[in-house]
Amino acid sequence: MSRARTRRTRAAAVSLAALLPLGLAACGSFGGGDDSAEGSSDGTITFWQYYGDEEMPTGAPLYDVLEKYDDQNDDVEVDIRFIPFEDFNRTLTQAAASGELPDVALINAFDTQNMAEAGVIEDISDRVEEWGEQDAYFPTGWETTQVDGATYGVPHLADAYAVYYNKDLLKQADVQPPKTWAEMEQTAAKLAGDGKYGLALSGIEGAEGATGLIIRTLADGGTIEKFGDDGGTAALESFQSMVDDGGLSKGFLTWNEEDAKNQFATGEAAMMINSATYVSILRDENPELNWGVALLPKDQTRETFLSAENLTIGEGSGDPDAAWDLISYLQKPDVLADYLPARNKLPARDDVPGTDDDPVRKVFADQLQEAWAPEGDLATHSNEAFTILQEALQATISGASDPADAAETAQSDIDEALSAS
């Protein structure tokens, strides 16, 4: 039986308890599970997500795959609720306080530890152990589901960063995609001229603008927790060098990832560092553009920043068996093979058919073998720490600070942020 898509329109209940900070709320007694709670065993699986609504390109594929599950299971109905990203964690926290958590929550992978420690999501170790498919997942993605030796989620999908390059422009300049960061600096400078640049990437204010700096720091063997050491300074010097040599526009400090894509798509930049999100977009919007993708430059490492979400079960779900059945359905390789191209993302596991058939997506899949994600206190405070990194980048490129001083200031601010745990 085919059913219409369901969308939750009721606003989340808010109580005084719901306004408690996440950690404080965890100290109290809350969570779903009573018969009056939404998501109780009534044939409805409540599913909360921040991808988008059914009219949005980022949301529609999820609605489609959940509708397929609906159609195959007459005894259940999936009730999808879209909550914008900026409101998602707060809404989950409020729902926990009022005992109205969803059966399934699709959360940012970096928030898994925080949500687990606050009692918002359930320990699903026993279900995962019986399932037995955890070894199919890329290690970095799977590690985001682990909290104190227990499993609190299943990776849903992943995204990685790599180097897009314009084949025609590189051929004209007689250069190859760079394999090291020294080569990146030289190649970007050689490709620049006549108001055009060699490289584009996001450096915009906020956490997004720190992605390139994080990748560059990791390549040099540095860490975010110890950004003030040599790795952070070297990364800032590298970006300063590319701007000074004309290989990278100073304007990248105002570009988000969509802006970087536009610079590349219009030929204003010959290369860009961006995520797999733009593979289908470039193919659809710029079919004449002759481009390829290469792995990130490698010095000590070539780790990509991992962007990912985890499927979790809300603490006290009224029907955790149904929630788990839905989660395991969404992670079937054949289901992912149909869903991921439409969602424009990569599989979090290595056994999804068709991934290697597309040479461009295969590069991103290979890049995922070397991925990095924040852990522990850094995961909890990742948004704050990454924003601090972007501020160091801003200070360096604007000339307000030299790289060493900017790295030192960032280190002090990161230490303060992490000590708040």
Cα 261 to Cα 265: distance, rounded to the nearest angstrom: 6
Q: What is the pLDDT of residues 55-109, one digit of tens each?
A: 987 889 999 999 999 999 998 999 999 999 889 999 999 999 999 999 999 999 9
Cα 390 to Cα 226: distance, rounded to the nearest angstrom: 15
Q: What is the pLDDT of residue 41?
A: 61
163's CB contacts (< 8 A; 6+ apart) are 177, 178, 271, 272, 273, 293, 294, 295, 296, 297
Q: What is the pLDDT of residue 376?
A: 85
Q: How far lies 74's CA from each of 2, 39, 44, 207, 259, in Å?
A: 9, 17, 11, 43, 45
Alpha helices in 98-224 (DSSP H): 112-117, 125-131, 139-143, 167-172, 181-191, 211-219
Q: What is the pLDDT of residue 72?
A: 95
Q: What is the pLDDT of residue 20?
A: 34
Q: Which two tokens stand for residue 57?
A: 């390109």
Q: What is the pLDDT of residue 43?
A: 87
Neighbours of 55 (CB within 10 A): 8
Q: What is the pLDDT of residue 143?
A: 93
- The torsion angle over the Cα atoms of residues 148, 149, 155 and 160, rounded to 10 degrees, is 70
Q: Are 196 and 272 in contact (CB under 8 A)?
A: no
Residue 312 host element (H or E): strand 307-313
Q: What is the pLDDT of residue 421?
A: 61
Q: How far lies 359's CA from each of 275, 345, 377, in Å?
A: 15, 15, 37
> 3-class DSSP state for residue 340?
helix
Q: What is the pLDDT of residue 180?
A: 98
Amino acid (one-letter) located at 330: L
pTM for this structure?
A: 0.80
pLDDT along the chain (421 residues), means of 10: 37 31 32 40 90 88 96 93 91 93 95 92 98 94 94 95 98 98 98 96 94 97 94 96 97 95 97 92 93 97 94 95 97 95 88 88 91 89 94 97 97 94 61
The closest of 62, 60, 57, 5 to 258, measured between CA atoms, is 57
